[in-house]
Amino acid sequence: MQHSTKRIITTHAGSLPRPADMIEMLVAKAEGKPIDEDAQRARLPGAVKDIVKKQIELGLDVIDDGEYSKPSFVTYVNDRLAGFEADANAPRRGSWSESREGLAFPEFYASAPARNIRMVCTGPVTYRGQSLLQRDIANLKAAIGDTGVEAFMPAISVANIEDWMLNRYYKSAEEYLFAIAEAMREEYKAIVDAGFLVQIDDPRLVSYYLVNPNATIEECRKWAVLRVEALNHALRGIPPEKIRHHTCYGINMGPRVHDMEVKHLIDIIMKINAGAYSFEAANPRHEHEWKVWGNAKLPKDKVLIPGVISHSTVLVEHPELVAERIMRYASLVGRERVIAGSDCGFATFAGSKEVHPSIVWAKFEALAEGARLASKELWKKAAAKKAPVKKAAAKAAAKKRPAKTTARAKK
């Protein structure tokens, strides 16, 4: 995993706006409508090549495939895990109207739809997505070519799959959780073996509190500890420096007054076997939390990827504000251990229209420019600190040198 050794490097959280024709195919497939599978397969390599090129042109240093093959960051596992079957009668997942947010702002969330859980576990969980995963790996490798850019590939967390797919087979939640972990280990490891960083997308870790109005902070912490244990089980043996962990709150546009505060989970998050932590840090609900990371005793081999642009507003951040956000974190852990990122993805579901693509690209331009401004300031300060030290060292060395003796003095 790259560090910001010469300048602040940039990345993002994974999902990016897809071309209109791809959205049409992905949405149709998610709704169970027939699509031309051959046409979709043929379209994907070119689309991935285009989005890789776009990211590089925008000034991003660590890039991905935009999650272009996935209908969403979580539902893609419908096609990658065995042991599940569709059930139209399965209980509906609660909508945001039933969350802490919905109870506090019922009028705002009144129209929020509930989503069906269409897959239920009816047998042993195993991984069957090898061909699909290898397709994505091959497409990303081909798109990168000889550019030399570092790449990551997002993969959904164990906890999110547990929430998305109902268990009707395993005797306990813990048994089910670790079965998912064992299956998803194959995906996590294959991504790293292919030469990419794996990013674990784990919004459930912090949003569990939000969607369970009766749960206390302590109950949520206890719930999170077991999920982190299961995730680490899935990640065992994979070098931490090849792993990024991303968490966020699930809500994009909304009041968000019931987001769990990072101070309640930061110690548990840091137990995750990852070399870098990606988190929301730019939106007005969480920007102040940068101070919490200063007291977190972050291990020296860990990197922070704070969001310095946000998916929760269509305002395009000023580059100088982006730079200030970067420098705050650099002041806590050092410039080398900060990578500038985004709060979350900008198209976590293929049909998402909350932030128009043109605005997404403008945000990334602000991200890149803000990183350049921060780099200039941070490296200038470092140079200024070194100058007096070098001068003092030269002066001390000069005092130690014996005085030159003239020929006349010798006589």
C-alpha atoms less than 13 angstroms from C-alpha of 328 in its C-beta half-sphere: 20
- Which of 137, 136, 128 lies closest to 193 in space, CA to CA? 137
Give pLDDT tens digits along the chain (411 positions). 999 999 999 999 999 999 988 888 888 877 778 888 888 889 999 999 999 999 999 999 999 999 999 988 999 999 999 999 988 777 777 677 889 999 999 999 887 666 666 789 999 999 999 999 999 999 999 999 999 999 999 999 999 999 999 999 999 999 999 999 999 999 999 999 999 999 999 999 999 999 999 999 999 999 999 999 999 999 999 999 999 999 999 877 889 999 999 999 999 999 999 999 999 999 999 999 999 998 888 899 999 999 999 999 999 999 999 999 999 999 999 999 999 999 999 977 776 778 999 999 999 999 999 999 999 999 997 777 765 655 666 666 667 766 554 444 444
* Strand-strand pairing, 303-309 and 341-342: parallel
* Strand-strand pairing, 119-127 and 81-86: antiparallel
- Which of 237, 250, 121, 223 lies closest to 188 in space, CA to CA? 237
- Which of 199, 177, 179, 178 lies closest to 188 in space, CA to CA? 199
In single-letter form, the type of residue at position 31 comes to E
Structural domain includes residue 13: no
Structural domain includes residue 219: yes
CATH of the domain at 326: 3.20.20.210
Structural domain includes residue 410: no
Structural domain includes residue 40: yes
Number of domains in the chain: 1
Structural domain includes residue 161: yes
Structural domain includes residue 9: no
What whole-number distance in Å separates Cα of residue 286 and Cα of residue 297?
Answer: 19
Structural domain includes residue 239: yes
Structural domain includes residue 315: yes
Q: Which structure tokens are listed for 233?
A: 């089980």
Tell me if the pTM is above 0.75.
yes
Residues 6+ apart with CB under 8 A from 353: none
Could you list the residue range(s) of the whole structural domain that residue 126 is in?
20-401
Can you tell me whether residue 274 is helix, strand or coil?
coil
Give 253's DSSP letter. S
Opening angle at CA 197, ends 339 and 67, nearest 5: 95
Q: Which structure tokens are listed for 310?
A: 């946000």
Residue pair 24/49 in contact (Cβ under 8 Å)? The answer is no
